[in-house]
Amino acid sequence: MTSAAAETEVQPLLEVDNVSKTFDIKLGLKRATVYAVGGVSISVQPSSTLGIVGESGCGKSTLARLILGLYPADRGEIRFAGQPLPRRGKRPRAVVEQMQMVFQDPYSALNPRASIGQSIAFPLQVQGMDRAEIRDRVARVLHDVGLHGNYATHYPHQLSGGQRQRVNIARALAMAPRLVVLDEAVSALDKSIQAQILNLLEDLQRAYQLTYIFISHDLNVVEYMSNRVAVMYLGQVVETCAADELYQRPLHPYSQGLLASIPTLDGASTEPTRVTGEMPSPLNPPSGCRFRTRCPFATDTCATHVPVLAEAEPGHLVACHLYPSSQPTTTPTTTQGE
């Protein structure tokens, strides 16, 4: 997906600046800290799509929830259209409405006892919109997501998975959002249905000038959808650049390994750069570079110095000691974002 806005320097719609989030959990009788998101910075241009990829547990959904204000951040700042948002507590209503999220499971996101029309109308009623306007809005968004107006009287169990996800998209759209965060929004769907929903999302982006954050563990789908991509590893962004650039020339050893693990049509694999081993526990992330325990190029420096996410090439940011731009100016030994 490409858009002119994505290529030019305009005010980003969303800026996430050095945001961190930990969770305190109980492990038996002990308390422990999960370092879910550690010092993440990303920005998204209006009418463009930022893809976010990374293994399960790397913090994608936590980052999404921080962006939506569903979790308070421990540190850092989030700005929407240049406006800094409070780190905790209530956000301005207009901002809440302009940021919508579509989740993975299209069924659990809908109230089974509410008709489709009621589900879409409810947040509009809360807004205080009048009944005639709500009726028109519901009809319009159902049409825009490719569902006949009759579906307003249907219930979620009467719909297929793909239709239910269309309803979830319609519900987000009804709020007239500027930013839509799609967290594994097509992951639960069959391939053919997935393609239809991806095409729908593209059409809606053009029609409504939407900005997307598209989260998925499916690298092919992210490449198809995104203008830029951020690669996350253990709560941090390790590389971010234009989507085609990432897929042609990944710079970070983790991105290289991740992309090498995409199955090819002929079943051939590119074994030498594959990432092996388990992701370390976010309860105890490695010092220095968090990827060093699985990195084939790791040196002593990687254990003691946190690499800085910085421009290795124009528009191509990477956090890895293989690149001079990532050398820290100070010499901290703690993990980034703690």
Ligand X SMILES: Nc1ncnc2c1ncn2[C@@H]1O[C@H](COP(=O)(O)OP(=O)(O)OP(=O)(O)O)[C@@H](O)[C@H]1O
Considering only 6, 14, 16, 58, the residue that binds ligand X (CB under 6 A) is: 58
Q: By CB under 6 A, is residue 51 in contact with ligand X?
A: no
Q: Which residues contact 290 (CB under 8 A, 6 or more apart)?
A: 38, 233, 234, 235, 236, 280, 335, 336
- Measured distance CA(323)–CA(318) in Å, rounded: 8
Interface with ligand X: number of residues (CB under 6 A): 14
Q: Considering the complex, what minimum distance in angstroms separates the CB of residue 168 from Mg ion? A: 16
Q: 10 Å Cβ neighbour count for 173?
A: 23
3-state secondary structure of 103: coil
Q: Which residues contact 266 (CB under 8 A, 6 or more apart)?
A: none
Q: By CB under 6 A, is residue 140 in contact with ligand X?
A: no
Q: Considering the complex, what minimum distance in angstroms separates the CB of residue 50 from ligand X? A: 15
Tokens of 17: 């600046």
- Calculate the CA dihedral of residues 82, 40, 198, 147 and round it to 10 degrees: -60
- Measured distance CA(103)–CA(83) in Å, rounded: 26
- Choose the stretch contacting ligand X; rule: CB under 6 A; options: 59-67, 150-158, 265-273, 284-292: 59-67
Nearer to Mg ion, 52 or 138 (CB): 52
Q: Which residues contact 280 (CB under 8 A, 6 or more apart)?
A: 234, 286, 290, 293
- Choose the stretch contacting ligand X; rule: CB under 6 A; options: 2-10, 51-59, 120-128, 222-230: 51-59
Contact 236, 288 (CB under 8 A): no
Q: By CB under 6 A, is residue 264 in contact with ligand X?
A: no
- Choose the stretch contacting ligand X; rule: CB under 6 A; options: 56-64, 197-205, 219-227, 321-329: 56-64
Q: By CB under 6 A, is residue 164 in contact with ligand X?
A: no
Nearer to Mg ion, 46 or 106 (CB): 106
Interface of this chain with ligand X, residues 209 to 228, rule: CB under 6 A: 217
Q: Considering the complex, what minimum distance in angstroms separates the CB of residue 308 from ligand X? A: 23
Q: Considering the complex, what minimum distance in angstroms separates the CB of residue 254 from ligand X? A: 14
Nearer to Mg ion, 107 or 208 (CB): 107
Nearer to ligand X, 32 or 94 (CB): 32
DSSP code of residue 76: E
Strand partners of residue 316: 313
Where does the chain show beta strands of DSSP type E? 14-27, 30-44, 49-53, 75-80, 83-84, 99-102, 179-183, 211-215, 228-233, 236-242, 310-313, 316-318
Q: By CB under 6 A, is residue 253 in contact with ligand X?
A: no
Determine the straight-line distance between the first and last CA of the chain, rounded to whole angstroms.
35
Q: By CB under 6 A, is residue 60 in contact with ligand X?
A: yes
Tokens of 236: 């941090």
Interface of this chain with ligand X, residues 16 to 35, rule: CB under 6 A: 23, 25, 34
Nearer to Mg ion, 61 or 163 (CB): 61
DSSP code of residue 263: P
Tally of helices (H runs) and strands (E runs) in the chain: 11, 12
Binding site residues, Mg ion, CB under 5 A: 60-61
Q: Considering the complex, what minimum distance in angstroms separates the CB of residue 272 from Mg ion? A: 29
Interface of this chain with ligand X, residues 278 to 297, rule: CB under 6 A: 282
Q: Considering the complex, what minimum distance in angstroms separates the CB of residue 58 from Mg ion? A: 9
Q: Which spans of this chain sit near ligand X (rule: CB under 6 A)?
A: 23, 25, 34, 36, 54, 56-62, 217, 282
